[in-house]
Structure 1
Amino acid sequence: METAINQLDERTDQATRQMLQKVVERKAKYDHLKEWHLVIMWLVVFLSFAYVIFVYYQFYLPYSYSFASVFSVYINHPFNLYSMVTLIGFYGYMVLLQQKRDKAEKEYHALRCEIIDKSKDLWKKEDEWKNRHHVFNMMKKNYDINLFHENK
């Protein structure tokens, strides 16, 4: 368990700490997938751009007098098959990461909203209710998780 969550002595009970820990874990998973999706997306963009430049200078410029000759030379070059398979593979991986990222984001926000909705049950006593903003501020400061409002 995170040390900042563990140090919430009288302000929270063990179940609330577990919920806070889970929301931190889901946020970390979401951030990780978001970062990897961005890296792979830029890799796909860069490789696609480089491949188009390669095709333009290697096949189009020397054989631009005839579409049939450009197509024939393009098909006969073995590098093109490997390049297209690599680009399609990276694009598929990017789409897969986007789906995983979206799923992780939904799980994270669902748990975050559940904590917000159940805050009256989690901090039942009057003094706990008055001190819950300390927990919310700690979560915002340490983990960038906003528990004050349901909106992102």
Structure 2
Amino acid sequence: MDRSDKEFGEWTDQATEQMLHNLIEKKRKFDKAKTMHLYTLWGTLFASFFFLYYMTKFVLNPYSYSFAAMFSVFVSDSLHLFMTLILVVLFGATKILFEKKEKKEKEFHDLRCEVIDRSKDLWKEEAWKKRHHVYDKLKKEWDINLFHGSK
């Protein structure tokens, strides 16, 4: 992480600045997890619709006269089973990435709420009047809202 001394101005001490950098890092990790989950979700949906289209066009419609014939054609080609296995793995990966995203969101939100709750301890006297500059910078540059605790 590229950071300079007193990045948040002279009204933050070293402990406060470290806490804010931890908050920024948690936000980056949450954003990365959110993006990975979204890409995996869309990839899974696209692959599922492609597979359903393929199955409808080449298995269900030509052999719709008999379930046994459809099942026989489906299991006779190893590509069908391989594609099914890939879809199961993609759905599992999507679920795992969703859980990781939720965990990182909770960690980020908990730290954000801690900063908000401890703001009276972090900024004292004259710095208390200038803390909104830090809040504005965090909101503008990293999309972190410290003005209130709700999501």
Unaligned runs of 5+ in 1: none
Matched, 1:129 2:128: yes
SS in 2 for 1:149: coil
Separation in 1, partners of 2:130, 2:6: 16
Verify the 8 A CA contact 2:6 2:12 in the aligned structure 1. no
Which consecutive aligned stretches of 4+ in structure 1 deviate over 3 angstroms post-superposition?
1-6
Separation in 1, partners of 2:37, 2:105: 13
Q: Describe the superposition over 1:100-132 as per-residue Cα deviations: whole angstroms up to 9, x where unpaired.
A: 0000000000000000000000012x2111111
The answer for the alignment partner of 1:142 in structure 2 is 141
How many pairs does the alignment contain?
A: 151
SS in 1 for 2:89: helix
Change (3 A) 1:35 1:42: same
Q: Please, what TM-score do these two structures have when normalized by structure 1? A: 0.95
Across the aligned residues of Structure 1 and Structure 2, the Cα RMSD in angstroms comes to: 1.3
The answer for the alignment partner of 2:63 in structure 1 is 63
Shift of 1:2: 4.6
Change (3 A) 1:144 1:95: same
Q: Please, what TM-score do these two structures have when normalized by structure 2? A: 0.95
Percent identity between matched residues is 46
Q: Describe the superposition over 1:2-32 as per-residue Cα deviations: whole angstroms up to 9, x where unpaired.
A: 5378422421011101110000000000001
Q: How does 1:46-57 map to 2 (within 5 A)?
A: 46-57=46-57
